[in-house]
Amino acid sequence: MQEMGASAESGSGERVTLRAGRAELELSLEGGCITAFRWHRAGKPIDWMRPAPAKTGFAPTDAACFPLVPYSNRIREGRFSFEGEDYQLALNFPPERHAIHGHGWQNRWRADNQTADAVTLVFDYPEDSNGNGSDWPASYRAEQRFELSEQDLMVEIAVSNTGTRAMPAGLGLHPYFPRTPECRLTAAVGRMWESDAEVMPADLVVPPADRDPGRGFQPAKAGLDNCFTDFGGQAVMEWPEWGAKLTMTSEAVLGFLVVYTPPGERFFCVEPVSAITDAVNLAQQGRTDSGFRSLAPGERFAARTVFTPHLEAG
């Protein structure tokens, strides 16, 4: 929504730009990130996600949206056991003492099958001499398919097990939306995971009234960094100041919603994900409601999300 935004670096080798009439999408190959999703009206850009800095080399957390693959959110201390083997992931976001958000957001992707209004980004996680991932149970291929039209943006994120063993698999998107004093979030959800001081799941509770997306609330007035269960597949962000709203519609496999509204920032995050935080460890402890999924060799897991903007006439 901010009437600002960087020019695309099309042809630089770092950024990819798609256009469809009034709509424009910028992508960075570093991190497989969206750097801008905007419409142009009367010569002015309308940013539906917080735009990334124009320069190359920005942090993924400054992107408009980044991919969550092959897991979302945190794995406690980067440790987990799977099919009789113990794994230690790199602690990839110091001083955070947990592994976070997977591999894709911190690695380079390549562009494939690009047209004026669509492209696939691909990231191959390498295998070791045994055909397994170097610090993951298996090698894999991650893909993001972006299809832009004048009406909406479709993003499909997928992971395929290219190794010889099964592997845990989780998917999601981490979009950043502009926050204004009056903006409002509404989404059908079930219960809320209360977080401990390290943003790890602690207790499953009924959402407090002032932080319940089902009732709707203003991100500027509610501090959250929580995962909600039973996401109904649709979240609506409204900006009354601009006469604008954005509907985010996700497939049922993205059955959880993470909402992050840090105090004092000019953004908030609404993240459709397939599993709760630390799902791989909670599943090992016997929880059957974590969204944990095992992906067999050769198996592919994919999920689509569509972002549909709306502007009042004017």
What range does the domain containing 51 cover?
Answer: 15-311
Instruction: Extract the tokens encoding 94.
Output: 């110091």
Does residue 73 lie within any of the structural domains?
Answer: yes
pTM (global) more than 0.85: yes
Pairing of strands 244-250, 225-228: unpaired
CATH number at residue 168: 2.70.98.10
| Domain contains 10 | no
pLDDT value at position 135? Answer: 84
Give residue 207's Cα distance to chain centre. Answer: 22
CA distance 10 to 27: 9
- How many structural domains compose the chain? 1
pLDDT number for residue 133:
64
Mean pLDDT of the chain: 92
Residues 213, 231: contact at Cβ < 8 Å?
Answer: no
The reported pLDDT for the residue numbered 314 is 61
- Structure confidence at residue 57 (pLDDT): 79
Residue 127's CB is within 10 A of a number of other CB atoms, namely 17
Along the 314 residues of the chain, how does pLDDT read in single tens digits?
A: 433 232 333 334 589 999 999 999 999 999 999 999 999 988 889 999 999 998 777 899 999 999 999 999 999 999 999 999 999 999 999 999 999 999 999 999 999 999 999 999 999 999 775 556 668 999 999 999 999 999 999 999 999 999 999 999 999 999 999 999 999 999 999 999 999 999 999 999 999 999 999 999 999 999 999 999 999 999 999 999 999 999 999 999 999 999 999 999 999 999 999 999 999 999 999 999 999 999 999 999 999 999 999 998 76
Task: Evaluate whether residue 3 is within a structural domain.
Answer: no
- At residue 130, the pLDDT reads 57
Does the residue 127 lie in any domain?
Answer: yes
pLDDT at 32: 97
Q: Is residue 8 part of a domain?
A: no
Does some domain include residue 179? yes
C-beta atoms surrounding 221 within 10 Å? 11
**Burial label, 83 (beta-carbon count in 10 A; 0-12, 13-18, 19+):** exposed
